[in-house]
């Protein structure tokens, strides 16, 4: 990271040296496992099958990470407004490109969240946006995927960024990690969507009867696609992931059941989201989803 809040992958040093840091002392940085803890699967945790108490504990953990790391705002890209369209196209490209390495949706969502965190905190030029995006994906894979499933750098670049060298990718990895203080794992919108959905099904079991094929997993997959497309909207970067996920759930409940106010009010309290925040975000999400 260069001073002045810009992301700069350029470095005369080798790929294993430290990236230039804001206010950091010069010198090599020893390799370490970045990122912080990944979440436990929501079907169960170390205490057994999840009940409402354990789900709320997961929610509180995710809210704590979000409160600590989230910085809302609008993209700080250096250049004309048209760059926002480039950001949108990059997000949609990542979601649509063939997933030959079988990365999980958790990985893609962490990549999008990392990319969003950088957009609102740094001024980035259009020419490096794609490199930041694919580097965010590789870092997310290192967090979430089994080590043996993480592709070699050359294989990864052949599919996602054939115009970049391994050294360029590694330098960008270090630049991103330096800016985010080696702490990638924030509570992501998908974490919240999954928790909210599980709380909804536990608290209001009759909702399952209203779901397509009565299958909660398929329903979450459908909502995940909506959520990820919303992450391409620059106006929605001003909202926390918890708020965005709750809006997706709210819109779906409005469609499925007439008495949606009661479960949403309960989730609002648990998520510590105000009705004003929800309403503002909901309006923008509806606009964004209509444009798809």
Banded pLDDT at 258 (limits 50, 70, 90): confident
User: Which of 179, 198, 222 is at the close of a domain?
Assistant: 179
| Domain annotation covers residue 51 | no
Letter string b/e over residues 143-161, b meaning 16 or more CB atoms within 10 A of that residue's CB = bbbeeeebbebeebbeebb
For residues 199 and 283, state if they share a domain.
yes
Please write the tens of the pLDDT for every residue from 113-163.
999 999 888 888 888 999 999 999 999 999 999 999 899 999 999 999 878
- Secondary structure percentages of the chain, helix, strand, coil, to 5: 60, 0, 35
| Domain annotation covers residue 66 | no
Kindly state the percentage of the chain with pLDDT values over 70.
79
Residue 20 pLDDT > 90: no
Q: What's the pTM?
A: 0.80
CA atoms 38, 43, 48, 52: torsion sign: positive
Task: Calculate mean pLDDT across residues 92-120.
Answer: 93
| Backbone torsions φ then ψ of 46, nearest 5 degrees | -65, -15
| Domain annotation covers residue 202 | yes
For residues 162 and 197, state if they share a domain.
no
| Domain annotation covers residue 206 | yes
For residues 199 and 174, state if they share a domain.
no
For residues 97 and 123, state if they share a domain.
yes
**Which tokens in the block code for residue 141?**
């894979």
Please write the tens of the pLDDT for every residue from 163-222.
899 999 999 999 999 999 898 888 899 999 999 999 999 999 999 999 888 899 999 999
Residue 248 pLDDT > 90: yes
Residue 21 pLDDT > 50: no
| Domain annotation covers residue 63 | no
Of 158, 241, 176, nearest in space to 22 by CA: 176
Distance separating the N- and C-terminal Cα atoms of the chain:
35
Please write the tens of the pLDDT for every residue from 277-288.
999 999 999 999
DSSP alpha helix (H) spans, 16-125:
52-69, 83-96, 105-121
Angle, CA 103 vertex, CA 98 and CA 106 arms, to 5°:
120
Q: How far apart are CA 227 and CA 245, in angstroms?
A: 7
User: Which of 151, 179, 207 is at the close of a domain?
Assistant: 179
For residues 88 and 171, state if they share a domain.
yes
For residues 229 and 156, state if they share a domain.
no
Specify the number of domains making up the chain.
2
For residues 195 and 131, state if they share a domain.
no
Residue labelled with tokens 């090599």: 28
The confidence score (pLDDT) of residue 291 equals 77
Banded pLDDT at 225 (limits 50, 70, 90): very high
Domain with 269 in it: 189-290
For residues 175 and 140, state if they share a domain.
yes
Residue 253 pLDDT > 50: yes
**Domain with 144 in it: what CATH number?**
1.10.472.10
DSSP alpha helix (H) spans, 70-212:
83-96, 105-121, 126-144, 153-160, 166-179, 189-203
User: Which of 122, 146, 179 is at the close of a domain?
Assistant: 179
């Amino acid at each position: 990271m260069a001073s002045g809040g810009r992301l700069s992958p350029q470095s005369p040093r080798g790929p294993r040296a430290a990236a230039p840091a804001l206010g950091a002392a010069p010198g090599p940085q020893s390799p370490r496992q970045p990122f912080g803890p990944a979440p436990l699967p929501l079907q169960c945790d170390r205490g057994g099958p999840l009940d409402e108490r354990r789900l709320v504990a997961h929610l509180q953990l995710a809210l704590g990470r979000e409160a600590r790391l989230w910085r809302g705002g609008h993209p700080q890209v250096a250049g004309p407004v048209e760059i926002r369209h480039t950001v949108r196209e990059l997000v949609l490209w990542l979601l649509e490109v063939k997933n030959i390495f079988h990365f999980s949706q958790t990985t893609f969502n962490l990549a999008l969240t990392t990319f969003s965190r950088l957009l609102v905190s740094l001024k980035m030029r259009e020419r490096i946006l794609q490199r930041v995006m694919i580097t965010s994906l590789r870092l997310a894979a290192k967090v979430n995927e089994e080590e043996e499933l993480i592709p070699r750098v050359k294989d990864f670049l052949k599919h996602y960024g054939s115009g970049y060298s391994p050294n360029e990718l590694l330098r960008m990895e270090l630049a991103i990690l330096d800016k985010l203080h080696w702490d990638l794992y924030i509570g992501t919108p998908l974490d919240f969507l999954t928790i909210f959905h599980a709380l909804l099904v536990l608290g209001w079991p009759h909702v399952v009867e209203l779901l397509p094929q009565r299958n909660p997993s398929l329903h979450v997959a459908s909502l995940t696609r909506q959520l990820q497309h919303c992450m391409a909207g620059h106006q929605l970067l001003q909202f926390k992931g918890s708020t965005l996920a709750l809006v997706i759930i709210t819109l779906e409940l409005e469609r499925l059941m007439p008495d949606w106010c009661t479960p949403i009010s309960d989730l609002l309290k648990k998520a510590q989201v105000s009705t004003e925040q929800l309403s503002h975000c909901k309006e923008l999400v509806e606009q964004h989803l209509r444009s798809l």
